[in-house]
């Protein structure tokens, strides 16, 4: 069972930019209600797309450098990186199917959910 992985300003480069697979970064904070609401949705996506999509979480309160670098002004913000570059940005809570509709076109051909 795959789970989103916590990243920090220090690990962002190696975990996200240098990743061989697409990475969805969840910019969030503990106090953010919509962030807590979307967490189980991202857990399910991480599990369903294990091996073809990596999901990581970056706490903006403790990692302001990365949040500022990517212009995150509201949370939750999810940014999909592919080959080290931003290819999609989603802002605010949204249901699983809407998230998948936005990110699936950027996943490698033939990628389907395992569940």
Q: Catalytic site residue 34?
A: no
Strands 85-91 and 77-82: antiparallel
Read off the pLDDT of each residue in 6-28 and give the average, rounded to a whole number: 96
Catalytic residue among 16, 25, 32, 75: 32
**Where do the domains of the chain lie, and which CATH numbers do they carry?**
5-95 (3.40.30.10)
Question: Around 20, how many Cα atoms within 13 Å sit in the side-chain half-sphere?
Answer: 1
Catalytic residue among 35, 41, 58, 67: 35
Q: Catalytic site residue 32?
A: yes
Question: Around 23, how many Cα atoms within 13 Å sit in the side-chain half-sphere?
Answer: 24
Measured CA angle at 108 (ends 7, 112), to 5 deg: 95
Q: pLDDT class for 1, splitting at 50, 70, 90?
A: low
Cis, bond preceding 76 (omega within 30 deg of 0): yes
Q: Is the model's pLDDT at 114 over the cut of 60?
A: no
Q: pLDDT class for 56, splitting at 50, 70, 90?
A: very high
């Amino acid at each position: 069972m795959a789970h989103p992985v916590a990243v920090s300003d220090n690990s962002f480069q190696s975990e996200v930019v240098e990743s061989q697979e697409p990475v969805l970064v969840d910019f969030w904070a503990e106090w953010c209600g919509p962030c807590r609401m979307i967490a189980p949705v991202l857990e399910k996506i991480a599990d369903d797309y294990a091996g073809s999509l990596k999901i990581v979480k970056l706490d903006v309160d403790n990692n302001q450098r990365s949040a500022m670098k990517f212009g995150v002004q509201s949370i939750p913000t999810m940014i999909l990186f592919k080959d080290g570059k931003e290819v999609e940005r989603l802002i605010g809570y949204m249901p699983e199917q809407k998230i998948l509709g936005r990110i699936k076109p950027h996943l490698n051909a033939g990628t389907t959910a395992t569940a």
